[in-house]
Amino acid sequence: MKVSVKVPATSANIGPGFDCLGLALPIYNTITIEETVLPGTGIEINMMSEDEVFDEMIFDNIPKDENSIVYKAVEMLYNSIGQEPSELKINIQSQIPITRGLGSSAAVIVGGLMAANKLLGSPADETALLSIATEVEGHPDNVAPAILGGFVLSSQEEDGSIICQKLDWPEEWDITVCIPDFELSTNIARSVLPENIPLSDAVFNAKHLAMLINAVNKKDEKLMKIALKDKLHQPYREKLVPGMKEIMDAFKHEDGILGTVLSGAGPTMLVISHKYDLDKIKATVKEIWEGQSIKVDIKTLKVEPEGAKFVE
């Protein structure tokens, strides 16, 4: 039996929503799991990309054995029902750039879990899958929109339970996704964050997160322009992303630009806009990054309303 799951890319944080906000984007990974019939063949993991210019060295450095995050997720699911994974072949067809802040790890975790769950006869419900995915990933901010789709507020509570609330992202708000050609691992991006922050910064983010949720619910563009500010992670990660400050400054006072934020841990950046010249966004970002010898892939996208789904 063979099962395939198509999972969208995700962008976490969205400014002040550090570790609790995320949205799904229409870029996809497809994970296929097949039970092999030959005993003793073990685990086989294959990774492929449709992007001809994809750096194969990135794939070479990703574990393709029991140390792979997709296998760890599958193993946890099997163990939760008292089983060990049988001989499995796992194929990952990748469109989501790796180590760019677009939830590539969340996508393979979610896809692997959903495919394995179906192979097992669907013993785990959505809540259980979300819990396992969060345990493997570390936070629910990417895995929640990968499973649910759309714009999602999530929290891992002290008892380990996961709370999610899907919100309606305004259809008319465009998201221009700017993907530079350099990597930034989540571990490095987290290493620059301080262990302790000033109370004033915590209060600042709490206020702006509340404004952000309200702005999205009411489609309030003026409030959104204020709400997307952050003091918990972006100021510290700025030194890891060349051109980030210049890009944010370039759009700060532009009518029609609601805000510019780092996507997840970066280095991808999102420019959120409404009725703004999209070609101007692309030209501005390209000029800044290419001026620093950084190539960039730019896509203007809508939020993907659907999460992971089975495909033939």
Mean pLDDT, range 122-126, rounded to an integer: 95
pLDDT at 63 over 90: no
| Coil vs helix vs strand at 251 | helix
pLDDT at 215 over 50: yes
**203 and 75 in one domain?**
no
**193 and 228 in one domain?**
yes
**145 and 6 in one domain?**
yes
Distance from C-alpha of 126 to C-alpha of 129, rounded to nearest angstrom = 5
The CATH number given to whatever domain includes residue 110 is 3.30.230.10
pLDDT at 6: 98
Read off the pLDDT band of 62 (50, 70, 90). low
**37 and 18 in one domain?**
yes
pTM for this entry: 0.92
**239 and 93 in one domain?**
no
**135 and 45 in one domain?**
yes
pLDDT at 213: 97
pLDDT at 18: 96
**139 and 94 in one domain?**
yes
Per residue in 268-299, pLDDT tens? 999 999 999 999 999 999 999 999 999 999 99
Nearest-5° Cα angle at 298, 137 to 19? 25
Domain that holds residue 23: 2-167+303-311
**263 and 202 in one domain?**
yes
Helix locations, 1-125, DSSP H = 56-60, 69-80, 104-119
**186 and 163 in one domain?**
no
**21 and 150 in one domain?**
yes
**162 and 26 in one domain?**
yes
